[in-house]
Amino acid sequence: PPSLPFERFPGARARLQKLKPLIWVHISKTGTGMLNTLYNHPGICPNATQEARASPVGVEDEWFYDHYPREEACPGSFNLSYSGRGHLGFGPYFRGNQGHAIAMFRQPEQRAISAYYWSKSQLFVHTPELKTATIREYAIAVQGCQTKMLAEDGYPEGPSPCVVSYIPPTDRMVQ
């Protein structure tokens, strides 16, 4: 019997090897599910400890990678020139990495609602201009985040493509 579940499918290992090294485009509010997927995949992170494979709920990327380095848990699986820390746009990294990027996407409205409540729990430290925004205003301010993460070219020098300069809507705009 195959030693790894994905080996039951002919060619799976070879296809996975062609994808490596991976670049994980970490879209805001999709991290926990994606970290779980990556660190629990035996073909991607064969050396991940049980502790690393446990569901990392609400863990910051930097803390996670400091405790469970990809180069040790997932040797050869990731392009480490793209840090994977934070919410880096993929645009500047596209050339030379076609076919190696992976990302998890959420329904945009659900992602924005999750981001709003996360920001609120963090006292809007990353988005102080949105501190008084309603959920609707917040969603409008961060709309298009997932697309911007893939296409933004000016990053990483500036803030995450998901964090925008917010100007509260005028009364005319709200009507």
In terms of pLDDT, which residue wins out, 55 or 14?
Answer: 14
* pLDDT score at 175: 47
pTM: 0.77
How far is Cα 94 from Cα 101, in angstroms, rounded to an integer?
A: 8
How far is Cα 110 from Cα 122, in angstroms, rounded to an integer?
A: 18
What would the mean pLDDT of 49-67 be, rounded to a whole number? 82
> Which of 104, 49, 17 shows the shortest CA–CA distance to 7?
17
pLDDT tens figures, 35-57: 888 999 999 999 999 999 986 67
Which region among 124-128, 136-140, 154-158 has the lowest average model confidence (pLDDT)? Answer: 154-158
Tokens of 72: 């040790």
Is there a contact between 166 and 158 (Cβ–Cβ < 8 Å)?
no
Which region among 70-74, 132-136, 167-171 has the lowest average model confidence (pLDDT)? Answer: 167-171
Q: What residue type is assigned to position 97 of the chain?
A: N
